[in-house]
Structure 1
Amino acid sequence: MSFKPESKTPNSAQAAQGETPNGAHTAVDVVLDTAYQGINPSQWSDLFAQARKSQLSQFIADLFAGKHINQSEDRPALHSALRNLSRSPVILDGVDVMPAVSEVWHRIEALCNQWVGVTDVIHIGIGGSDFGPRLAIEALAHVPGIESRGMRMHFLANIDTAELARILDRALPHSTRVIIVSKSFTTLETTMNAKAVVAWLKASGCTKSQINKALYAVTANVPAAQEFGVQEDHIYPFWDWVGGRYSVWSAVGLPIALQYGFKTFEEFLAGAHAMDLHFKNAPLEENLPVIMALALLHQQEKHGIKAYAAIPYADALDWFPKWLQQLDMESNGKSVGKDGKPVKYSSPVVFGSAGSNAQHSYFQLFHQGTEIIPIDFIAVRKPMSDRPEAVAHHRILLSNCLAQAQALAHGKSDENPNNVYPGNRPSSLLLLPELNAFYLGALLALYENRAASLGALWNINSFDQPGVEYGKVLAKPIEKALASGSDHVQANDGIDAITAARINFLNS
């Protein structure tokens, strides 16, 4: 592992001090401009006072110190250790976790050097086991001149066999590798899709030894992976102190290293690590994740906003809002706080897509709708291609980004009410110097740390997700009733009358 993040990353003091002339803040060369949030100096002062009252600084310190801040599951949230390229000790219950993390890095690097002649990789996982690596693979594919090892990377998440069929129609079975990713190794969609892919390998004439060679797993449940048939030396662990939606920095991000080389994966980790150092060390008033969190909190308190949008003016980041939806709404979409009492605010609805496509879809609502929806505009200073048209096209892309923010902020008067723009629609601008593995890592860590900050401000545990479990429990008796083929299913403890009628219709 030869990559040295300190050679390209400003230290935390430099990151905290760097400000552009218009007052926008910068960290790790990422610029955050909140000029259009409509927050005056007195209001900012009140917001930072509120952050101190919420003991946000202590929460940040506890987060990085490995304290059990995930109270409901009695665990820390130490995903920052997964990108701690400095290897400085991270102590969990008296034990340094970094030797185990470093061992996984070495195994990933070794695997990158071992795979020869592989044409297809099928990455099977859902939710946090899918969004992060899929986003990174899609985004980095647009980096001009990036090394690509020629393998086709397929992501299989949905239990809908349409996705499975599309992948298996393209993949070459005898030169395919399969990575099964599940923290518990009991996720229904993942295990069923994995069994289907193994059945395809068998039906394609692969021998047992060839299938054993093809199967890999990333999991916290090593015995379950072995029972499935994955060789022990093909199993890459991650730990219960890593939440699924924060796991791309672990071996869950294996596709990034396999597709683009281990050095690119290190750069991805380095960008996130640099943003972590800023989040950990910068004063609240200069701390990008904290400033972003307080801006959103202000819009909730001032306008009662129920949604916000993330609009990346970079086609390479079209998957970013989907990743962000899980991060924010699974982390903070709760109505009960850490103390068991109802909370006043929690995660708004998150949506978005790449600009300027989004302008031709739902920006009408932003400009003239009755709802005020704050926007995070995300832009990249450098074009994302080396085409001869790139500079001119990128200038238009940036012009649209800046123009939309200005129009939303100031609005427009007109005698014709149809042409009136109310204005006072808040937004922030995030500006990346360029889009590569380093700045992609910094961007994702910025939003992860913002989500944690919001949870602390709302008194919400951002690191559990009990709300996703109930539907899974109810699905079991419903699936059994569908499998029966009966169109005379009656309502019972697990199936209400409306669902019973729907099952009967489907089985008729």
Structure 2
Amino acid sequence: MTVMNSYPQWQTLQRLSQQLPHMRSLFAEDPKRAESMSVSAAGLMLDYSKNRVTTEVMQSLLAMAQSAGLKDKINAMFAGERINTTEQRAVLHTALRASADSEIDVDGQNIVPEVQQTLAKMEAFVEAITSGEWRGFTGKAITDIVSIGIGGSFLGPKIATQALRPYWSGKLKCHFVANVDATSLVEKLKLVDPETTLFLMSSKSFGTQETLTNTLSARDWFLSQGGTQQDIAKHFAAITSNVAKATAFGMDEANIFPMWDWVGGRYSLWSAIGLPIALMVGMDNFRALLQGASDMDRHFVEAPLAQNMPVIMGMLSVWYSNFFNAQSHVVLTYDHYLRGLPAYFQQLDMESNGKSVTLDGERVDFNTGPVIWGGEGTNGQHAYHQLLHQGTALIPADFIMPLQSHNPLGEHHAQLASNCFGQTQALMQGRTFDEALAELAGSKLSDQDKAIIARHKVMDGNKPSNTLLMDKLTPQTLGALIALYEHRTFVQGVIWQINSFDQWGVELGKTLGNDVLARLGAAEESTDLDGSSNRLIRLFRQGHL
């Protein structure tokens, strides 16, 4: 017996998955389906009525969540228990947005005061930079921030900063560097002035290969442009646990911000890793971002399962992954500022739940971690939506849209909304052969050709989607949206009984990459790896094919 079929609800859900009527019928039978299958929380509204579910299916899925002890697991996470069992760590990104009067213990110590102290330190730092009080080595104020990190230390701050562009103060420009490809850094350095640029380095160990390499190269550039070793403290700051290495680099200890073992990289934008966000939008808006996430946290902890937005979304993902063999999930944003969000959710979900063993170390024999992908919905409609509508794969979709635009202009937003809602409708209802044939009734085609063309225009429909709406994209609604997907990811991991908070696959890639790096610069040619790797190393050392 495996994890999934050990749940008492397994057989019922298997049966129900094979007996469901088309969603057209479900809507015809229940005109108020959308009202009963919608839930609101933290400024967001989820309409999940366009899913292959009935009341009985939802009840069974939520009963499965109860069988998995989901409520207890949620409470364990928020209480600071070491639910990251392979690394013996608590998982407390939620503590980063907890209220100042909260008490959350790790190893017998309340961590909330330290979190609040860090927020206060961030606020002073942001004020010094944005007010012009902080001066570079020639006495000029800072105008540009170059944020250097990778993974969660890069993507979260970048996407949130991009999403909150309407709230930028206009006092700074921010540039993000992650890729160790020198081109990424060099092109950014072309845009900035060493006299007015501050580099933010994010690495818990101060030794992450890509991040350290980029930071060392940035220092070399700075020194080559007139700065001195003594000037580094005016132009470099760090978010790291390794204060000794940061100060040896030349940074002022006052400008070094902490990272904690109980915060994973992909969950870290709420911490000092989020300094680029705070610098661009101000601490009031950064705190609003935290508040939105905190609002979703409270909903996740307190709401009954049947009205719990992250639980519903997580269980729907389990439904399609494990009962319909869905291999991927698409996230479609209908707001230009949110165009990077699918990439962020991709990292969040796939790094968390891309696992093949249970918490007990047993090999799984069921789907975990679907491939997350997506982009701007309107652009996708003229490209990959073709596969969503008529392809053979079942691909559940999330549609995300604010009801109000930051840039109202003519009918633009109405057209955007019509695209969003029209796509969810088309995915759900599809087009029958008779409907397609009727559309061709007035054409001059022969009856035989009409029948052939009609077959090409048939769409089965019954393709599931969620629609997530908010009044307007604000720091608070963005915080709630990101926290929603964090908790959705956690729910899936609980059902699959996997550890959503380690990333040993990432670690293996780092280890082998370091080994290859040593061989690329070694005096003797590498011969003891596999034939392909040896040959690739040899070609690189030659520098030509």
With normalisation by structure 1, the TM-score equals: 0.92
- Displacement of 1:485: 8.0
Are residues 1:362 and 2:384 paired? yes
* Structure 2 residue aligned with 1:478: 516
* 1:40-189 alignment runs, 5 A limit: 40-115=54-129, 116=132, 117-141=141-165, 143=166, 146-189=167-210
- Displacement of 1:86: 4.4
- The code of the aligned residue for 1:89 comes to E
- Displacement of 1:228: 2.5
- The code of the aligned residue for 1:504 comes to R
Q: Which secondary structure does the structure 2 equivalent of 1:21 belong to?
A: helix
CA distance in 2, matches of 1:208, 1:225: 13
CA distance in 1, matches of 2:505, 2:522: 28
- Displacement of 1:94: 1.6
* 1:270-419 alignment runs, 5 A limit: 270-343=291-364, 344-386=366-408, 388-389=409-410, 392-414=411-433, 415=451, 416-419=454-457
* Structure 1 residue aligned with 2:273: 252
* 1:447-486 alignment runs, 5 A limit: 447-484=485-522
* Structure 1 residue aligned with 2:465: 427
5+ residue gaps in structure 1? 1-18
CA distance in 2, matches of 1:465, 1:155: 23
- The code of the aligned residue for 1:370 comes to T
Give the fraction of aligned pairs with identical amino acids, expressed as a percent.
40
Change (3 A) 1:423 1:500: same
Please give the per-residue CA displacement for 1:379-423, whole angstroms capped at 9, x wherever unaligned. 11101314x43xx10111111111111111111123432111111
CA distance in 1, matches of 2:47, 2:191: 44
Are residues 1:216 and 2:250 paired? no
Larger Rg belongs to: 2
- Displacement of 1:327: 0.4
With normalisation by structure 2, the TM-score equals: 0.86
Q: Which secondary structure does the structure 2 equivalent of 1:360 belong to?
A: coil
Q: Is the 8 A contact 1:315 1:355 kept in 2?
A: no
- The code of the aligned residue for 1:292 comes to M
Are residues 1:491 and 2:527 paired? yes
- Displacement of 1:184: 1.9
- Displacement of 1:435: 0.2
- Displacement of 1:490: 4.6
- Displacement of 1:259: 1.1
Are residues 1:31 and 2:45 paired? yes
More displaced, 295-304 or 96-105? 295-304
- Displacement of 1:227: 2.8
Please give the per-residue CA displacement for 1:78-113, whole angstroms capped at 9, x wherever unaligned. 000101134311122221101100000101111121
Q: Is the 8 A contact 2:331 2:374 kept in 1?
A: yes
Q: Which secondary structure does the structure 2 equivalent of 1:472 belong to?
A: helix
The equivalent position to 2:219 in structure 1, one of 193, 198, 205, is 198
- Displacement of 1:235: 0.4
* Structure 2 residue aligned with 1:4: none
CA distance in 2, matches of 1:87, 1:223: 32
CA distance in 2, matches of 1:501, 1:447: 42
More displaced, 410-419 or 196-205? 410-419
* Structure 1 residue aligned with 2:482: 444
Q: Is the 8 A contact 1:119 1:152 kept in 2?
A: yes
* Structure 1 residue aligned with 2:447: none
CA distance in 2, matches of 1:95, 1:504: 53
Change (3 A) 1:322 1:332: same
- Displacement of 1:210: 2.0
Please give the per-residue CA displacement for 1:32-55, whole angstroms capped at 9, x wherever unaligned. 111111100111111011001100
Aligned length in residues: 480
Please give the per-residue CA displacement for 1:280-335, whole angstroms capped at 9, x wherever unaligned. 11111111000000111111233100100011111111110111111001001000
CA distance in 2, matches of 1:393, 1:306: 34
- The code of the aligned residue for 2:113 comes to P
5+ residue gaps in structure 2? 1-32, 133-140, 434-450
Please give the per-residue CA displacement for 1:158-212, whole angstroms capped at 9, x wherever unaligned. 0011111111001110111111001222110000000000001100001223222
Q: Which secondary structure does the structure 2 equivalent of 1:278 belong to?
A: helix
* Structure 2 residue aligned with 1:14: none
